Chains A and B, each alone.
Chain A
């Protein structure tokens, strides 16, 4: 720990160092977090503390009352979670002073996330801070550190490409649909096949406001079951060709050995659709949709390889900006640390 300045530190474990089986043991439900807060307060170990508790990380951001605070926090946490201190020591991460500030900004910006640059973590850090605030466990140091960390994380997200582009197949498909239709509130989606990848993609479309979902599968029961789960409509598989013109987006993920959608089927549908575009997403292997469909006017066809390439490009763009983001984080963390030294040194 830095010999001068506030005794600000971070202690925790995350997906970067801790396997899933151990992370499960470390997870703190809210009631136990409150108990831990109470114990630490009673011991007078920490002046300020906030707990970030997500499925991928359990982290304390704290200002120590004395030099033993870190050890006491560790002991109290292990006792509460009924884990051996040695086990925790094998996975734990600890930083102090400006390093801890850098870590917090990097976490809030999504740089330390399993899916680089994801946005959800920013909200989770905010909730952690607000929870600590309402519990009365934050003070002048944590208030300043968290507020500045939020500003820095926003700046980094805005000024680097670490959050740009989708990196999962389902989300890439949704992004593509948005570049065609603008918004999905009037888009009708047809899902062919009732497998896992199709279901995930259909859920992604529904979560972005797709107007309606219809499921059609060679196994009628599975189609009906999935339609029930997703609050969708089921369509007999043998009839879907006759209804193609009714849909704006077709997600095909069947295990059919040959193509089930041919240029002739789509040409007939497009004549009825007039100027409305039709977007095909072929998630099947072997492919469900004949490649000739892509040559038709106003028809856009993307297969697994296409989506994978876009996801890889987006990820590469994000990764290329990590170094730039780290430099920004270091600048902001060091400046904040200097301010803290001046105020609380």
Chain B
């Protein structure tokens, strides 16, 4: 049996997420509740395939696959799916699975649809330093949390609109209670800020040793995102930013966070690049495989 490449696994994962979106959309269209268990299984299947695809990439780069915009988008979608699979059963929020599938499908398909994002990949970007890799993975994971926060915020805004406009039938009948959405959003924000702060703290140790290692735009963008989310958290805790305004800010901030990914990635200092090969399980023995980071840096 031919070995499937990493891209093929990622396409299969995207197809699974899309299947979740289609199932949820049909159910909403028919004004019926879709099965949460089935949605969970679909997202879990997509997550498994995506994990495998990213694992194959990881084998190739000998670390977290975060070397280009394609991989950043894939990793962010993977983080959102991870969180949903962990918190989904606990919160039992209707439509959260649907929206997670929607976010993951949007991110993975967008990444797959833009070949330029994966035309080159920076290898050896972590310089063999596991702490920098940890910093990058944590930062991306926090983006996954913020992605889920954006989803709950959109659900909040829809529920808020439905309650204020007194339109409670149709699609609105399937939305979760507004207080649950608010509390989950608050907790996700706290978790996201904490993880991003830890990530930046870890990264700052490396930066302080070598101030030229981080481009100023990347520094400004990442610290700016942390400050923006941190300020939102502080205002929410003080009761100064609540309800619809809190949800709107969380949704808009995620858009800003996502937009910052591309320039942050581009602003990385020059590093050896390589066109990404199709990576299968037998990558290490494949003559077509890309050179290892060590080889690339030689």
Interface residues of A (CB under 8 A from B): 165, 176, 178-182, 271, 274-277, 294, 297-298, 300, 302, 306, 309-310, 313, 317
Interface band, chain B: 20 to 34
CA distance A274 to B243 in the complex (A): 10
B243 and A297 form a contact (CB under 8 A): yes
Contacts of B34 in A (CB 8 A): none
B166 and A302 form a contact (CB under 8 A): yes
B236 and A275 form a contact (CB under 8 A): yes
A-B residue pairs, 4 tightest by C-beta: A274-B239, A182-B177, A275-B242, A298-B243
B187: interface (CB < 8 Å): no
Least distance between B180 CB and chain A CB atoms (Å): 5
CB-CB contacts below 8 Å: B157-188 with A:
159, 163-164, 166, 168-169, 175-180, 182, 186
B159 and A179 form a contact (CB under 8 A): yes
Contacts of B186 in A (CB 8 A): 275
CA distance A274 to B159 in the complex (A): 19
CA distance A180 to B246 in the complex (A): 17
Contacts of A310 in B (CB 8 A): 166, 168
Least distance between B153 CB and chain A CB atoms (Å): 14
28 inter-chain pairs at a CB distance below 8 angstroms, sorted by A residue, are: A165-B169, A176-B168, A179-B163, A179-B175, A179-B177, A180-B163, A180-B179, A181-B177, A181-B179, A182-B177, A271-B239, A274-B239, A275-B236, A275-B239, A275-B243, A275-B246, A277-B178, A277-B179, A277-B243, A294-B164, A297-B243, A297-B245, A298-B243, A300-B163, A306-B166, A310-B166, A310-B168, A317-B169
CA distance A180 to B168 in the complex (A): 12
CB-CB contacts below 8 Å: B227-262 with A:
236, 238-239, 242-246
Contacts of B245 in A (CB 8 A): 297
CA distance A178 to B163 in the complex (A): 12
Contacts of B177 in A (CB 8 A): 178-182
Interface residues of B (CB under 8 A from A): 159, 163-164, 166, 168-169, 175-180, 182, 186, 236, 238-239, 242-246
B182 and A275 form a contact (CB under 8 A): yes
Least distance between B60 CB and chain A CB atoms (Å): 46
CA distance A276 to B176 in the complex (A): 16
CA distance A29 to B144 in the complex (A): 64
Contacts of A309 in B (CB 8 A): 166
Please judge, given known A-B contacts A297-B244, A310-B166, A310-B168, whether A179 and B239 are in contact too, CB under 8 Å.
no
B168 and A182 form a contact (CB under 8 A): no
Chain A minimum-CB-distance residue to B31: A161
Contacts of B168 in A (CB 8 A): 176, 179, 310
Chain A minimum-CB-distance residue to B175: A179
Having A277-B178, A300-B163, one finds 15 other A-B pairs with CB under 8 Å, namely A178-B177, A179-B163, A180-B163, A181-B179, A182-B180, A271-B239, A275-B182, A275-B186, A275-B242, A294-B164, A297-B242, A297-B243, A297-B244, A298-B242, A309-B166
Chain B minimum-CB-distance residue to A187: B179
**Which residue of A277, A309, A310 has the most chain B CB atoms within 10 A of its CB atom?**
A277
CA distance A179 to B158 in the complex (A): 12
Chain A minimum-CB-distance residue to B166: A306
Contacts of B163 in A (CB 8 A): 176, 179-180, 300
Least distance between B167 CB and chain A CB atoms (Å): 10
CA distance A302 to B238 in the complex (A): 28
Chain B minimum-CB-distance residue to A297: B243
Chain A minimum-CB-distance residue to B159: A179
B242 and A274 form a contact (CB under 8 A): yes
Contacts of B180 in A (CB 8 A): 182
CA distance A267 to B112 in the complex (A): 50
Contacts of A182 in B (CB 8 A): 176-177, 179-180
Contacts of A275 in B (CB 8 A): 182, 186, 236, 239, 242-243, 246
Contacts of B243 in A (CB 8 A): 275, 277, 297-298
Least distance between B178 CB and chain A CB atoms (Å): 5
Contacts of A317 in B (CB 8 A): 169
CA distance A180 to B179 in the complex (A): 6
**Which residue of B238, B242, B244 has the most chain A CB atoms within 10 A of its CB atom?**
B242
Least distance between B64 CB and chain A CB atoms (Å): 36
CA distance A271 to B178 in the complex (A): 19
